[in-house]
Structure 1
């Protein structure tokens, strides 16, 4: 029968590997995606999940070694999951405010990115004779 420590080491190893994979995917997304809006998803989604997995593994390891719950990693994880979406939202809003250019195939009808005299496609088509 597998001992408790061996099973916990397996769980800790799983979270460490998962955290590394998520952080790597987030870094690839940051380097390979084409515009700011796409690049924003790499660090805020996958890298946050990767760091969260590494912190959970650290919490499990130090709880196993010290025979007690480790609260520092838990607080860091909670703080990370609260602040990452807020900072991503603020970055996206400031990019919309500054009208940063977007990759052409991903364009959509976002009112904040339209020029002052620019109208919808339907209105332009109805004005033409």
Structure 2
């Protein structure tokens, strides 16, 4: 049973590390703020959760498992809020590529600039 647990733990740890690596590469390579926000939150959070699951398989104490659970809960609670605040700040600082926006739902929230018409090929 421990060989299976060790193998599963190793797979989870490597998978989480690879997702976190992909998130960091995305932060460096993606061209605009919206893409970078996506790279900073989604794969990074899943990578951390996989790493925590891999570590949890190796632990036996209830206190240690509770600590890992708290880390996971706080990460899932704070990452979306941080990404939202970064997105709002980028929008207000006019760092968002408006040519990529199909609809601008933030118009009327302090900035009254219309979105440039984007030609759609599906019409």
Taking structure 1 as the reference length, the TM-score comes to 0.74
- Runs of 4+ in structure 1 over 3 Å off: 66-69, 115-121
Provide the residue aligned with 2:94 in structure 1: 99
Distance 1:5 1:26, change over 3 A: same
Alignment of 1:108 with 2:102, yes or no, is yes
Describe the superposition over 1:43-71 as per-residue Cα deviations: whole angstroms up to 9, x where unpaired: 101011111111111121112xx588621
Say what the alpha-carbon RMSD is for the aligned residues. 2.8
Provide the residue aligned with 1:50 in structure 2: 47
Provide the residue aligned with 1:127 in structure 2: none
Provide the residue aligned with 2:23 in structure 1: 26
Provide the residue aligned with 2:3 in structure 1: 6
Distance 1:36 1:67, change over 3 A: closer
Unaligned stretches of 5+ residues in structure 2: 118-123
Alignment of 1:79 with 2:86, yes or no, is no
Question: How many positions carry a matched residue from both structures?
Answer: 115
* Matched residue SS, 1:70: helix
8 Å contact from structure 2 (residues 15, 47) kept in 1: yes
Distance 1:57 1:108, change over 3 A: same
Unaligned stretches of 5+ residues in structure 1: 122-129
Aligned-residue offset at 1:103: 7.7
Describe the superposition over 1:17-36 as per-residue Cα deviations: whole angstroms up to 9, x where unpaired: 11011111111111110011
Q: Whose Rg is larger?
A: 1
Give the structure with the higher percent helix. Answer: 1
